[in-house]
Amino acid sequence: MPALFVTGTGTDIGKTYVSCALIRALKTRGAVVDAFKPVVSGFDPKDAAGSDPARLAAALGDPGGVFRIAPRRYLAPLSPNIAARLEGETLVLDDMVIDAMARAAEVRDGLLLVEGAGGVMSPLTDGETNLDMIATVGAPVLLVAGSYLGTISHVLTALVALRAANARVAAVVMSQSLDAPDLNQTAQALIPFLQGAPLFLAPRGESWDAGALADHLLTDLRAP
């Protein structure tokens, strides 16, 4: 089980929150786990401690690992390709894929969480999206969604795109949104449309225990 690609139905819906909780749960179970963000935008080096890579590093128990986890960091809070261009760089999908696969090989018998930037169809380069990277890497997917009004449509649209690219969806996580309809009620409405993909709920708050999700993934990703 070398890699799991963590993507979302959009931006700022809880990917890093879910990834950090999953890392803590996996470590509690004795699993070897690491994290990798191929690219991050909106990264302020003056406030690196408040960034998503820093949160992942803290969950791993490696507070100095921010730059190892996120080798491509750009200041502007825009899509990565635009943020990179503003700093005179051009992102190349093959470079990010090679880096992710090399990092996965380092983890060996453990699990590398590869966290994308934005949603499934968010641009990574000038002509490619997270979906293109998911398809190229070939890793199973953990799809993270919010619980806001309209999330069911966004989840189902993301699943259509992922399945059309032959990506295997290991699980869907609904991360509770602020001022949203009831989390459980929304989940129950979504389940009949998931075609068997398991759904896990992530209530707000750092106390959320991702143990059930970790147990599922440890079994699912080791299955032949």
What are the structural domains, with CATH classification, of the chain?
3-220 (3.40.50.300)
Would the pLDDT of 1 be above 60? no
Would the pLDDT of 206 be above 80? no
Active site residues per annotation:
37
Q: In what order do the strands lie in the sheet with 3-8?
A: 33-36, 111-119, 3-8, 141-145, 169-175, 199-202
Provide the percentage of residues in the chain whose pLDDT is more than 70: 98
Distance CA 220, CA 224 (A): 9
Cα 38 to the center of its chain, rounded Å: 11
pLDDT band at 64 (very low <50, low <70, confident <90, very high): confident
16: burial class by Cβ within 10 Å (0-12, 13-18, 19+)?
A: buried
Q: How much is the pTM?
A: 0.95
Q: At 51, is the secondary structure helix, strand, or coil?
A: coil
CA angle 121, 124, 125 (to 5 degrees): 120
pLDDT in tens, 95-146: 999 999 999 999 888 999 999 999 999 999 999 999 999 999 999 999 999 9
